[in-house]
Structure 1
């Protein structure tokens, strides 16, 4: 019996580790693996509680980077909804089960807080480049904050409660999933408060939020044509060119 390279490699890893451990594979946008290429996007939608806290601090929202924001207010200037849709940059999944382990995006949103008595001394916070780790229920981000926060990459900003939808790449197709029950980590709350200059009432408004929103993502897996397909396409184009020359002659 002949073993394939993949089987030999898997057996070697098993012996070295002393137990079977799954390997993770990351596909960057534009790249491919095992005959598949993947693209995707994710949309962060703010909860009503978060919008209420933003109203308390008169915090303004603005698009950042490659994300596209959708912000609506009522006639009195209060937030009705706010979301940011960001293109995907990479998808990580289990090499054996094909379960999605993580999704990374680029772009986000900037929050700017004015000086409001007992609410905020003023500041700003940009949340961008979200990366969802589906194995530890954590959302990481790059944050860029005022008031001495600076730029922090791969920052554990939120934990999430539930994940639903298609999380196994079974082949070409479209897979939709939803992350709900976002809650700030302890470090996330501290950096959020520092960057926006939150005072007693501002912190109280943020502490009263039990759900910051949802993240809905779409992954599109597409089959990559075999080399023979490209060869046939090339021969077809050559044939068309030759036919045109003969007609011209």
Structure 2
């Protein structure tokens, strides 16, 4: 019986060791938004709507999209890449005389602090044809700031514990690579940098959660207290 108990304690300790070493997710994201100038979208005769799991408020111009993960580009310490939900994004649509309906779908966003660039999948439909540009550079941020639990997002190290993310991007310009690929069709999105006011992410601190090893120690303590109580009861009787 003693051997079985000893094996059980060793097993719990092994599980606790693996769990504490495993990489954990980000602290809960309380706000992850792209702030558009709704008036600028309207003045360019476009309408906007959300794609996938994102939501879009046409009055405030706020696109809410979820963060999937943060990774380090290259060798740590290094700059972060912040990835959004792969299927979410925004759809922009308009109807132009002699051109017809123009649709521009932007999904699968990610932002790289290595080159200050917002990437995504760009799907353009115009003049009866469609083109897709996967993992395409879209916008370059002129201003960026952010930390992951106080560490600058350009100088991150790996961590086994969940960390809070705070990020703000603004002053965008259109990617020269996207301009070149779109050619004459670049006019469909040339107004986009001025319409994107900021990208913001705010993450709450994760409440402290006891590790499995702590639960194991608590369990052993309770077993010990119960054993002492039974001995006292037996002695008194």
Q: Same fold (TM over 0.5)?
A: yes
Q: CA deviation at 1:139?
A: 0.6
Distance 1:93 1:187, change over 3 A: closer
User: Is 1:215–2:205 an aligned residue pair?
Assistant: no
Counterpart of 1:142 in structure 2 is 121
SS at match of 2:82: strand
Residue-by-residue CA offset, 1:216-236 (whole Å, 9 max, x unaligned): 012456467533135468889
Q: CA deviation at 1:181?
A: 1.1
Counterpart of 1:183 in structure 2 is 173
Counterpart of 1:26 in structure 2 is none
Residue-by-residue CA offset, 1:157-208 (whole Å, 9 max, x unaligned): 11111112424556765332201112111233466687xx67xxxx399369
In 1, the alpha carbon distance for the partners of 2:131 and 2:62 equals: 24
Residue among 66, 79, 93 paired with 1:112: 93
Residue among 106, 116, 138 paired with 1:157: 138
Structure 1, 203-212 or 125-134: larger mean CA deviation? 203-212
Structure ID, larger Rg: 2
In 1, the alpha carbon distance for the partners of 2:79 and 2:205 equals: 12
Counterpart of 1:44 in structure 2 is 34
> Is 1:172–1:220's contact at 8 Å kept on the other side of the alignment?
no
- In the TM superposition, 1:26-175 aligns within 5 A as 36-39=24-27, 40=29, 42-47=32-37, 51-52=39-40, 54-72=41-59, 81-93=60-72, 96-97=76-77, 101-106=80-85, 107-116=88-97, 121-147=100-126, 148-168=129-149, 174-175=164-165
Residue-by-residue CA offset, 1:134-167 (whole Å, 9 max, x unaligned): 1111110012221334332211111111112424
Q: TM-score, normalised by structure 2?
A: 0.62
| Structure 1 unmatched ranges of 5 or more | 1-30, 73-80, 239-249
Aligned residues: 188
Distance 1:221 1:92, change over 3 A: farther
| Structure 2 unmatched ranges of 5 or more | 1-18, 152-160, 224-237
Q: CA deviation at 1:121?
A: 3.6
Q: CA deviation at 1:70?
A: 1.3
SS at match of 2:63: strand
In 1, the alpha carbon distance for the partners of 2:119 and 2:20 equals: 24
Counterpart of 1:227 in structure 2 is 212
> Is 2:148–2:164's contact at 8 Å kept on the other side of the alignment?
no
Counterpart of 1:4 in structure 2 is none
More strand by share: 1
Q: TM-score, normalised by structure 1?
A: 0.60
